[in-house]
Structure 1
Amino acid sequence: MSKAPIVAIVDDDEAVREALSDLLLVLDLSCRTFDRAEAFMAEYVPGGFDCLITDVSMPGHSGLDLLHRLRSIGSLIPVIIVTADTKPATRLRAMKGGAQAYLKKPVNSEALLGHLQSALRRVDPSSDGNRRGTPSDG
C-alpha cells in the first residue's frame, strides 16, 4: 500500500507558509512547513518527503543553497521554487540546479498545482524503491 504524498514547504514568511499549506490541504495533500532551510535539513531523511516548495531569499541558507545541498547528497526530490526574485540569473541558477519550476510570488495557484502534480507523478507510486525523492537504478 503506497503512502500519501508529503510536501515540504520552506519559507521564512509565515503568511506564505500558511497560504501554501492551506492550498495543499484543500487538495488533500499532506504537508510539513519549515521557516528556514536549516530547519528542513535538520529533519530531512531520504524518502521523507515527495516534493519541496521553497522560497529563494531566506535568513541563513537560501532556497538555492537548499536545492544545491539536496542535489549534492544525491536527493532527487522535486523542488519547486516560489519567490519574489525575478532576476533572470537567479531563475537560471535554480533551473540549472535542478528545480522543477520557478514561480513568481504571488503564485498562481493553478500554475503551482500543475507543477506539483507533475512533480508528484515523477515519483513512482508503484515502486517503493523509487518513491519519495530517492535515487533509482533506472
Structure 2
Amino acid sequence: MTYDDTYTNGKRTDREVVATVVVRRARAQVEQVGTREVKTAIPSGGGGGLNWAALARCESGGNPRAVNPAGYYGLYQFSLSTWAGVGGSGNPVNASASEQTARAQALYKRGGAGQWGCGSHLFD
C-alpha cells in the first residue's frame, strides 16, 4: 500500500491510501501455535445479540487491517465515505477493532444487515 501522510507541527495528522497493489490474494485461515488461549479483539456475540465476529470473519477473514482493491477497508469492509458517515476519520484500517465494531453497529442501526454482502452472518 502507498500512503499519503499529512503532518502538522511534526506530527502525522492524517493518512490516506493512494495506491494498493495485491501481491498475493489473501487466504482466510487461522494459525495457532502453543496452548495458551488467544483473546480476540472482536466481540463474539455482543452488540444486541448479533454475531459481529461471524460478520467480520466473512467480510475480512477477521483481519482489522484487511484491504479490498475495490476500495473497502477493515473488519467490516467499509468504504471511506461510509466510514466517515458513521463518524470515522481517516481509514478504518488505522482504527482499533473495537472502534471498527462500534462504527459497524452504528451502521447496522441506520440501515440493517443489508449493508454487507455477508450480513446474514450477524444472525449465526
TM range (shorter): 0.3 to 0.5
- Between structure 1 and structure 2, the one with the greater Rg is 2
Structure number having the greater helix percentage: 1
Relative to the length of structure 2, the TM-score reads: 0.34
